[in-house]
Amino acid sequence: MWPEIYNFLLNVSAVILCCIAVKLTDDFLDQEFDIHSGINWAQRYGAGTMVYAMLILALAAAMNPPLTLSLFLGSYIVGMFNQFTRLFPSHLTGWQESLLVFFIGAILFGWNLMLFAVLFVLSVQLLDDCLDRHLDSMCGMRNLAQKYGLTECALLALFCLMVAWLVNEQIFSAVFSGFVIFYLTMLHFQRRASQ
């Protein structure tokens, strides 16, 4: 019984650290858009933000490399959704980079884990877009909930979450728990920062 509890807590911790690394990376890349929202960790940590993100990702990967790195790659892929046609320094478009990253992740970690990661992260992104639609609108950003509709995004998020669970039931509860803990902690800190 104790080994199962230990593995569960280790996976939850790895997911929380991975979420922090993704959040720091996202804040670093979106600094100019987040000026209006007033909450951006990259503004607090400055140039060291990416170093902290890499350090935290390394710690998460030490706990469970396949899970952590597939979630990070899934976040990269989903983060490209609004930039599919943009040409990047790799001389590939966003959709080409996303496809390449998915295939590399599938080779390294298995298609099952990569599909789970992309579906889980997509569900989180869709729910986040539903919650942030007014804030993103005030900042001049167009998210998926504004583009396709609130109900459609919420239903697609629920569908992606259910399919992710079906794809990999074994890790779903740890990933879901880790994300919920991270999200509630972020809400707490954002409320404190806005007071």
Q: Domain coordinates of the chain in residue numbers? A: 2-194
pLDDT of residue 138: 56
Give this prediction's pTM.
0.90
Q: Shortest CA distance to 67 belongs to which of 7, 11, 4?
A: 11
CA dist list (Å): 55 to 11, 30, 72, 138, 189: 17, 20, 13, 33, 21
pLDDT string in tens for the chain (195-residue length): 788 999 999 999 999 999 999 999 988 887 766 666 657 778 888 888 999 999 999 999 999 999 999 999 999 999 888 788 888 888 999 899 999 999 999 999 999 999 999 999 999 999 988 887 666 555 556 677 777 777 899 999 999 999 999 999 999 999 999 999 999 998 888 777 666
pLDDT of residue 189: 81
Residue 106 CB partners (closer than 8 Å, separation 6+): 114
pLDDT of residue 33: 66
pLDDT of residue 67: 97
pLDDT of residue 195: 63
pLDDT of residue 190: 75
Side-chain-side CA neighbours of 89 within 13 Å: the count stands at 0
pLDDT of residue 178: 97
pLDDT of residue 148: 79
182, 19 Cβ separation under 8 angstroms: yes
Judged by DSSP in three states, 1 sits in coil
pLDDT of residue 182: 96
